Amino acid sequence: MAIIDEILSLKEQRRAAILAHNYQLPEVQDIADLTGDSLELARAAARLDCDVLVFCGVDFMAETAAILSPDKTVVLPAKGAWCPMAHMISPQELRDLKALYPEAAVVCYVNSTAEIKAESDICCTSANGVEVAASLSEKEVIFVPDRNLAAYVARHTDKKVIPWNGYCYVHDQFTAAEVDAARARHPLAEVLVHPECRPEVIDRADFVYSTSGMGRHAQSSPAGEFVIGTETGMIHRLKKDSPGKEFYPLSRNAVCQNMKKTNLSLVLQALQTLEPRVSVPEETAIRARRSIERMLAV
């Protein structure tokens, strides 16, 4: 296909790498150098030897890449691809919360703005939230912005967790009744859900994983069928990595609109123009980098 050849040849000329989140459209996942969850993509952004990172995902992911790799040009092909949850808390709101709990450590989910990361002690992703919180010496932990991941961390550590009331509209919409109905339809399937789901949904699942964690589980499990409680883009990745196994979305409505804004034409345009570019002011980046690097060291 001509557009794929153009992307691949321009990628070489630019010394670029294409990173894609597991929720991206199938054709975008298929041309990426690496498809992964937030943790894997952050690690790759820090490690890759290239001049340009084309980040097929949403704003906070590209910002994290720019913070970790200030010498690389980071482009987010779809302008306006942002994560609503990341914008549910402002820096002032976090400062006010910190003033109420001066003894607490601040953990921010990576789905947050660079300014929130700069105000936090440490970052976490859905893959390592429990380990990150458990690694802290403080007994109290302010956890922002996702109330559901905060509840999950609270249940799996001995920390007193002070949550912020943010949520992901894609995961927060799953219901316990949907899990029961999926089990009735697919009695042999294992139910895997993301920790951004509500506690009552998590309680009915067999396993809770980050997106890539779901992939690893499906590959190693003896089960042949899985109900997947996350964004539906994940199904493409799962089928590709585990051919011969069956994957059913917990809900076909679980679609992150902003993750679907990136397409091959926009990837090509981004490589041609090196726009829209993502950068973080140095004074914010220095403080945010500390939180992210502290997480990467856990």
Binding site for ligand SF4 (CB under 6 A): 58, 83-85, 111, 168-170, 231, 256, 259
- Among ligand SF4, ligand 13P, none, what binds residue 193 when CB lies within 5 to 8 Å by partner kind? none
- Among ligand 13P, ligand SF4, none, what binds residue 84 when CB lies within 5 to 8 Å by partner kind? ligand SF4
225-229 β-sheet, strand order: 207-208, 190-193, 225-229, 246-249
# residues contacting ligand 13P (CB under 6 A): 10
Q: Please name the residues in contact with 283: beta carbons below 8 A apart, sequence gap of 6 or more.
A: none
- Among ligand 13P, ligand SF4, none, what binds residue 211 when CB lies within 5 to 8 Å by partner kind? ligand 13P
Per CB under 6 A, contacts with ligand 13P among 151-190 are 168
Q: Which is nearer to ligand SF4, 14 or 112 (CB)?
A: 112
Measured CA to CA, the distance from residue 286 to residue 280 in angstroms comes to 9
* Residue given tokens 């700069």 in the structure block: 118
Residue 73 in the binding site for ligand 13P (CB under 6 A): no
Q: Which is nearer to ligand SF4, 11 or 126 (CB)?
A: 126
DSSP H helix total and E strand total for the chain: 14, 12
Per CB under 6 A, contacts with ligand 13P among 9-38 are 22, 37-38
- Residue of 112, 151, 154 whose CA lies nearest to 292: 112
140-144 β-sheet, strand order: 122-124, 105-109, 140-144, 160-163
Question: In the complex, what is the shortest distance from the CB of residue 258 to ligand SF4, in angstroms, rounded to a whole number?
Answer: 6
Residue 232 in the binding site for ligand 13P (CB under 6 A): no
Q: Please name the residues in contact with 133: beta carbons below 8 A apart, sequence gap of 6 or more.
A: 107, 124, 141, 143, 153, 157, 159, 161
Question: In the complex, what is the shortest distance from the CB of residue 5 to ligand SF4, in angstroms, rounded to a whole number?
Answer: 30
Per CB under 6 A, contacts with ligand 13P among 119-148 are 125-126
- Among ligand 13P, ligand SF4, none, what binds residue 190 when CB lies within 5 to 8 Å by partner kind? none
Structural contact between residues 204 and 180, judged by C-beta atoms closer than 8 angstroms: yes
Residue 111 in the binding site for ligand 13P (CB under 6 A): yes
Question: In the complex, what is the shortest distance from the CB of residue 189 to ligand 13P, in angstroms, rounded to a whole number?
Answer: 20
Residue type, position 69, single letter:
S
Give how far Cα 295 sits from Cα of 51, 94, 109, 298, Å: 25, 19, 10, 5
Question: In the complex, what is the shortest distance from the CB of residue 87 to ligand SF4, in angstroms, rounded to a whole number?
Answer: 10
- Among ligand 13P, ligand SF4, none, what binds residue 59 when CB lies within 5 to 8 Å by partner kind? none
Residues that bind ligand 13P (CB under 6 A): 22, 37-38, 111, 125-126, 168, 196, 210-211
